[in-house]
Structure 1
């Protein structure tokens, strides 16, 4: 855990969130740094804390009784998470990248602050609505017909989240195994779909995880 002086210095060095964090909300945060694949919180852990990604990325997932993992969301810098109406978390969240920095907020204090500070209440409402929109978008992606369409729509969706410039390449913060878990297909199917999309000129690969969208329309016949 970082001490208070380190917290302040690190917050100043880190990239700004998409919208400015309310000052009073920020004052409640303390920072923690997580290793790759380290749990930020586990399934059925008490929901006493809310979180925001300051740098790196995190995955939200459910481990099923048969050992299968299902991803339900990816958190990027600026995303606030950990909301639940229950006393314990239904899902787990894990750091994806090494050195992921997470701001942690005591839930009860944030809820009390939101009752008297309109900026904090607005920020929480905005973050919850964005999480709902991400879920809706993911349902649309998963509901597409073929594996290639799923992968193509997923890459387009993530490009919109990661890049303001439509012609800019993106560095995926997650692996092809993560993509497979989100889409409900095998990693081998993801790799074949990416290879096929590259052959069709829909994407170009600029490294193991860096992808450029070269054509936004074009399915199996495009």
Structure 2
């Protein structure tokens, strides 16, 4: 891609950095690293930074965002209701309602990216655990033995983004733009190829993966064919 076999223009250290930046950007854009994660609650503590959320999945460095949360009680789990932070702040922080301790039933996220914070209400009254469906960011790769958390086929997109960064650093703008176009195509294809066509309100084989790649919300029933 770079036509620099002898590493005369790009050194290995910089290329490794470009690859790891590409992996992080891909993971954030596509949310392709979906992992189970947990958070240990402390009595009387309402907010928890993402850094306290842990996962045992190999190759995951940190949590980027949380999709679903549930409170673990023994062998059972109860789903926690998600609320926008503005709503949560108005009713459960500014109002003073956060002072009541009980078992949490709702949660909200403040902050974006890896520096986000989870807020719970009511404030935990016991040392329990919250289970998450979370999106992770990968560890940086340095050795061939380092685990790769990004699943195939998304890994096919990484070299193109890394090449884009390298070419931009060399001011080879036209070539860099071509690499970014290829990256975008492979990132979209990763979603299309990884998403089944059988989705809610979709007939089998009628473009479910395409809709998923565009992150379009499916509303209503699919149109019926004439004669039915």
Q: Shorter-chain TM-score: which interval? A: under 0.3
Bigger radius of gyration, 1 or 2?
Answer: 2
Greater RCO (Cα-Cα under 8 Å, separation 6 or more): 2
Taking structure 1 as the reference length, the TM-score comes to 0.26
